[in-house]
Amino acid sequence: MEEIQDPQPWKVLKSEYLFRRPWLTARKDCVQLPNGVVNDEYYVLEYPTWVNVIARTVEGKYIFIRQYRHGLGQTNYEIVAGTMDPTDKSPEEAARRELYEEAGYGGGQWRLLSALSANASAMNNLSYSFVAEGVEKVSTQHLEPTEEITVHLLDETEVRHLLEHDEIKQALMAAPLWKYLAGKAAEGGK
Residues 70-109 that bind its own copies (CB under 8 A): 70-76
Q: What count of other Cβ atoms lies within 10 Å of the Cβ of residue 172?
A: 21
Residue 156 as a binder of its own copies (CB under 8 A): the answer is no
Q: Give the residue, chosen from 68, 136, 142, 184, that forms a contact with its own copies under the rule CB under 8 A.
A: 68
Residues 6+ apart with CB under 8 A from 110: 92, 95, 96, 130, 131, 132
Residue 55 as a binder of its own copies (CB under 8 A): the answer is no
Residue 150 as a binder of its own copies (CB under 8 A): the answer is yes
Q: Whose Cβ is closer to its own copies: residue 106's or residue 169's?
A: 169
The bridge status of strand 127-137 relative to strand 105-106 is: antiparallel
Residue 61 as a binder of its own copies (CB under 8 A): the answer is no
Residue 182 as a binder of its own copies (CB under 8 A): the answer is yes
Task: Return the closest-CA partner of residue 91 out of 114, 120, 123, 67.
Answer: 114
How far CA 183 is from CA of 120, 126, 188, in Å, comes to 25, 22, 9
Residue 37 as a binder of its own copies (CB under 8 A): the answer is yes
Residue 166 as a binder of its own copies (CB under 8 A): the answer is yes
Phi, psi of 69 (to 5 degrees): -115, 110
Q: What count of other Cβ atoms lies within 10 Å of the Cβ of residue 170?
A: 17
Shortest Å distance, C-beta 88 to its own copies:
19
Q: Give the residue, chosen from 107, 115, 133, 134, that forms a contact with its own copies under the rule CB under 8 A.
A: 115
Q: Give the residue, chosen from 48, 106, 118, 134, that forms a contact with its own copies under the rule CB under 8 A.
A: 118
Residue 56 as a binder of its own copies (CB under 8 A): the answer is no
> At 172, is the secondary structure helix, strand, or coil?
helix
Q: Whose Cβ is closer to its own copies: residue 29's or residue 107's?
A: 29
For its own copies (CB under 8 A), the number of binding residues is: 73
> At 6, is the secondary structure helix, strand, or coil?
coil
Applying CB under 8 A, which part among 84-92, 94-102, 132-140, 171-179 lies near its own copies? Answer: 171-179
Q: What count of other Cβ atoms lies within 10 Å of the Cβ of residue 140?
A: 8
Residue 13 as a binder of its own copies (CB under 8 A): the answer is no
